[in-house]
Structure 1
Amino acid sequence: MTNRLTIAVIDNDESIRTALRRLLQASGYSVTTFASAEAFLQETVADGPDCLLLDMRLGGTTGLQLQQILLNADRSIPTVFLTSQQDHLSRQSAMQAGAFDVLRKPIDAEILLDSIHHALNHT
């Protein structure tokens, strides 16, 4: 039995979480989904995910704030941000804090899978 890599999808849009879960599972990943940063932080996972797909603008704690919380807790997880906004400052902040990529919604499946692959192999 092989141990599949786990991707955590954190997005407040249920339809996006569902679509990403289906795509990632069909690509061989194990997937956990969360509607908020708070729900992700409450989840107690021994090893945690291998990669995060993280929406920039969540209700409550933002994606950038969650990234900083994880860094402060010494939990460096390869992160690919998803955003529906073309916000250069947020993109720059995410990349400076260690995000692997920032992709604009709607997301091309091939580009997303390629970005995840590179993020996982970069660490």
Structure 2
Amino acid sequence: GATPPADRVHALEGRAEYHHTDTERPTPEDVLAALGKRGADVVLAEGGPTFNGQLVDSGLIDELCLSISPHLVGGGSNRIVNGSEAAIPAELRLDRLLEHDNALFARYVRA
């Protein structure tokens, strides 16, 4: 893949690990395999709709956590997951639902 500017890599020193890949855009499977080699057996992905869609398309979503705030915000029509409509994950079931300060926090897991 492309090599990032040295100053960007240097800025991460002591705060994060940098790992160079052989491909320009590694797949979610590539990333999880690399993390697994480093001992990560649980990965929390806080991506946007496109990245979440890649995870869904690859069958890599085991649970979904949603925060629902009592504030209305306008914007584009992106969903939580943008991707292939054919790659809808297995059914999810509600594992827990918490409420605090008029906000809801839901955790869904594969059924």
TM normalised by structure 2 equals: 0.32
Greater per-residue helix proportion: 1
**Structure ID, larger Rg:** 2
TM normalised by structure 1 equals: 0.30
